[in-house]
Amino acid sequence: MGSIVMPEALSKDESEITFTALTPHIGSLVKGIDASKPVPPAVMARLRRELADRSVLVLRDQALTPAQHIALSREFGPLEKHVLSDFCLPGHPEIFVVSNIIEDGRHIGAHGGSKRYHSDLSYLPEPSLGSLFYCLECPEEGGETAFASMFAAFDALPEARKTWLAARNGVHDYVWNYERAHSKNRAPLTEEQKAKTPPVLHPAVRTHPENGRPALFISEIFTRTFDGENEAESQALVREIMEFATQPAFVYEHEWRPRDLIIWDNRSAVHKAMPFDEENTRRRMHRTTITGDRPFFDG
Ligand code: OGA
Ligand code: MN
């Protein structure tokens, strides 16, 4: 009898969890979960549904070791190991460190990037499903993360624009962006790193595989061109559409506190880091990145 899992035990846990909307379109504050402990399957199912519908889940006051962060992340799917292996946590290649901190003359994490809206790993044929981002240290001011709902953005576009975008692919190009954005502040990519990240085509609008809703899938960082358009025209369109898509009504901006954990859905939200005093303050974040599927549009 000892091996029987009582259904009451799971539903009791589930009933203790609350979700509060952070803005009308995006973001949910989750209370009642200790992310350092195994999460029962019924609670995981509820979290996945909330993530699909609200794109961003915020959990405050979580005391997480790297191993616990990884264990919770694995409940959402297999994890990526980032192409920039220098910025992964020693001993834990699943954790990508995002930080401005320099130790022993070396950056401990990715720095000086991600200040424009993007979806993680959109440059892969199978971009990330979502990411779990954990705050270890943050400045008192600045360094927020902004998230924009690509469901709300698509829904609000004029019909002619929706039709145009729904028939388009975007080219997502990691190497092109790296060379324009990081040539001054990071080591050049090796031929091996470049070979791992050739340009890929993705639909400009994707169907969310869990709830069927259409979401814009465009990155200010990685979308280089739309098929049929040259680079200058494409870049002008990316700017115009993303300016519309990231208007305040569709955005949740998170002010970090140490021990905050955010789970975001890369299939329906874009995000970016806000500026902070990188010279005089410390910011240290740990990210796990869940492997995803090939984007599709079945509109
Ligand atoms: C990331 C990212 C934003 C931030 O780690 O994927 O985009 O606020 N981070 O640091
Ligand atoms: Mn990112």
Q: Are residues 195 and 227 in the same domain?
A: yes
pLDDT at 238: 98
**CATH code: domain of residue 235:** 3.60.130.10
Q: Is the CB of 273 under 6 A from ligand 1?
A: yes
> pLDDT means per 10 residues in the chain (299 residues)?
46 76 98 96 96 98 98 97 84 96 94 88 97 98 98 98 97 95 85 93 98 98 94 97 98 98 98 96 97 96
State whether 9 and 121 are in the same domain: yes
* H/E run at residue 172: strand 169-172
Distance 89 CA to ligand 2 centre (A): 17
Q: Which residue owns the Cα nearest ligand 1 atom 8?
A: 273
Same domain, 106 and 210: no
Give the number of domains in the chain: 2
Ligand in nearest proximity to the CA of 145: 1
Q: Which atom of ligand 1 is nearest to the CA of 145?
A: 8
* Whether residue 142 sits in one domain with residue 9: yes
Q: Are 262 and 69 in contact (CB under 8 A)?
A: no
Q: Are residues 23 and 110 in the same domain?
A: yes
C-alpha of residue 270 to centroid of ligand 2, in Å: 8
Does residue 177 sit in the same domain as residue 274?
A: no
Among 83, 97, 98, which residue has the most ligand 1 atoms within 8 Å of its CB, making it the best to mutate?
98
Residue 82 has a pLDDT of 78
Is residue 298 assigned to a domain? no
Q: For the whole model, what pTM was predicted? A: 0.93
Q: Kind of pairing, strands 28-31 and 56-59? A: parallel
Query: Looking at residue 11, what is its pLDDT?
Result: 39
Asked if 136 contacts 282 with a C-beta cutoff of 8 angstroms, the reply is no
41 in the same domain as 117: yes
Tallying the residues shown for the chain, one arrives at 299
Look at residue 297 and tell me if it is in a domain. no
In this structure, the answer to whether residues 116 and 264 fall within a common structural domain is: yes
| Residue at 285 is within a domain | yes
Domain with 165 in it: 150-245
Same domain, yes or no: 240 and 270: no
Look at residue 183 in the predicted model and tell me its pLDDT. 82
pLDDT of residue 181: 87
